[in-house]
Amino acid sequence: MAIPGFSFEESYVPCEGDYVLLPYRDGGTPCFRVDALPGALQAVVRAPKEEGGGIAVFLGEAGGVRLSVRCVRLDAKRSSVEAEARKLVVKGLGAAKKQESSRIVVLLDGQDARLTVAVQEGALLGGYAFDRYLEKKAEPLPVLLVVSGGDTASLRKSLEEEAAVCGCVNFARDVLNEPPNVIKPPSLAEAFLLAGKESGLSVSVWDENKLAEERCGGILGVGQGSAAKPRLVIGEYAPEGAQKHLCLVGKGITFDSGGYCLKPTEGQIGMKYDMGGAAMCFAAACAIARLKLPLRVTVLTPLAENAISGEAYMNTSILTTRSGKTIEIHSTDAEGRLLLADALVLASERKPDWIVDAATLTGACVVGLGEDIAGALGTDSDFTQALVKAGVDVGEWFWELPLHLPYLECMKTTVADVKNSAGHRWGGAITAAVFLKEWVPDGQKWIHCDIAGPGCKEEPLGHLGKGAKGFGVKTLVRLARNLAGK
């Protein structure tokens, strides 16, 4: 992982080779204090007039220091100022490298804390690159954020907290970007164990023997075909005095071949991201613990590799889950819901106030919402909308879909309590969620997040470059903040 060095200062002293970014809200409203600029900059600054555009001012050897300055508007018809601020740093890094600049400098007015945090996120998340397996690694440019005025102490605290969240997002990206010959259920469990302990979680790992003892037939059934046996990682954060309890459940298929319902070659590319829900939930729990939010959190991540062998489960197999409910397999490629069935029962047994599960679950959700938007289906509309709003606040998009329980009729079978596939492609994201509801008690506030689009998207998304996005971590942290009254 490569992240540009990031620093925060209250005044700016120009250095040789600086690439200075001066953001404007619109054609004439600067996001920085002009009177706080060095004299050489004040003399040449010109506001950009074209929406979304910018003008470059090259100072040359002004005052004996060679600088490049770019004034950029952050307003755009289809985007927020904060979203454009995140992208500002990424675009600046590209331009600065072409000019062989030594660092990026962004000047801001400290009165706008949201914008300042957005610029920091642009540096910490937009500057991320997974280059572990490259012979030649690019040297990241450092980023300096200079903020004048405002409540500096409060702003520093906000930046420190958001940096902790960004670090957890990048942890999720790291484990997702690792190839499937490196990340398997045991190695991912070990990575979660280490990250959890470093963050302040109490972590336990169930191996295949413990899973059998605990009657987790769904997790065992999916993972039985792989030489790398399944795991369940449980992380717990229980601060003193916490009155409410949030359970997070994340699907962790470290690679999805489709099993005997084998995916085509092109369909298997990107299936290392099928543990996006587990990465999202565990990283969010780590961030919540690092922030010391006054909220009890339990995270459960069932991990398996959906592989083919003489031991693998197959169509018309019947699995018995922890609850005793049985499932007839009608598609070995509808495996994630089998892991979640056991984990949702374990979560429900803890009688939390809220449960949120996340999974890269259905292609149907991608067909309906595209690659940038996740689906959310829940038993309590107010709670579901609270998650949707939390996502909007941090720049991650969820859309509420109906939890239409009559669709369960499509999954009836004569030889088991339920089958794992509706047998048709209509409403696949909804039928999958309705299937999961069978393992959630009536009256429980629960949301199922289908993150198949943004959770598996390979191409850039906003300020996030190619590869894993760590989608949903920020949303869960913001939701936890709101639930904790913070």
Q: Is residue 160 in some structural domain?
A: no
Round to whole Å and give the CA distance between 416 and 433.
19
If asked whether residues 170 and 130 sit together in one domain, one would say no
Active-site choice (25, 66, 91, 263)? 263
Q: Is the pLDDT of residue 151 over 60?
A: yes
If asked whether residues 335 and 378 sit together in one domain, one would say yes
Burial 412-424 (b: 16+ CB within 10 A, else e): ebeebbbbbbbee
Tens digits of residue pLDDT in 390-443: 999 999 999 999 999 999 999 999 999 999 999 888 999 999 999 999 999 999
Q: Is residue 370 in some structural domain?
A: yes
The pLDDT of residue 1: 42
Q: Is residue 318 in some structural domain?
A: yes
Q: Is residue 115 in some structural domain?
A: yes
Tens digits of residue pLDDT in 123-140: 999 999 999 999 988 888
The pLDDT of residue 4: 65
Tens digits of residue pLDDT in 319-357: 999 999 999 999 999 999 999 999 999 999 999 999 999
* Average pLDDT estimate for 276-287: 98
For residue 335, what are the CA distances in angstroms to 95, 151, 216, 248, 263? Answer: 44, 51, 14, 19, 13
Last residue of a domain, one of 149, 175, 190: 149
All residues at 6 or more sequence positions from 155 whose CB lies less than 8 Å from its CB, including other chains: 110, 113, 116, 147
* CATH code: domain of residue 128: 3.40.220.10
Q: Is residue 156 in some structural domain?
A: no
Q: Is the pLDDT of residue 59 over 90?
A: no
If asked whether residues 204 and 113 sit together in one domain, one would say no
Q: Is the pLDDT of residue 74 over 50?
A: yes
If asked whether residues 48 and 133 sit together in one domain, one would say yes
If asked whether residues 188 and 97 sit together in one domain, one would say no
pLDDT band at 63 (very low <50, low <70, confident <90, very high): low
If asked whether residues 89 and 183 sit together in one domain, one would say no
Q: Is residue 158 in some structural domain?
A: no
Q: Is residue 159 in some structural domain?
A: no
Q: Say if pTM beats, i.e. exceeds, 0.85.
A: yes
Our count of domains for the chain comes to: 2
Tens digits of residue pLDDT in 13-38: 888 999 999 999 998 899 999 988 88
pLDDT band at 3 (very low <50, low <70, confident <90, very high): low
Active-site choice (337, 445, 469, 481)? 337
What is the token pair recorded at 366? 């991608």
Last residue of a domain, one of 114, 149, 184: 149
The parent domain of residue 74 ranges over 6-149
If asked whether residues 91 and 202 sit together in one domain, one would say no
Catalytic (active site) residue 337: yes
Q: Is residue 223 in some structural domain?
A: yes
Q: Is 287 exposed, middle or buried (0-12, 13-18, 19+ CB in 10 A)?
A: buried
Tens digits of residue pLDDT in 243-271: 999 999 999 999 999 999 999 999 999 99
What is the token pair recorded at 58? 């090259």
Lowest mean pLDDT, pick from 35-49, 113-127, 367-381: 35-49
If asked whether residues 122 and 205 sit together in one domain, one would say no
What is the token pair recorded at 139? 């040297």
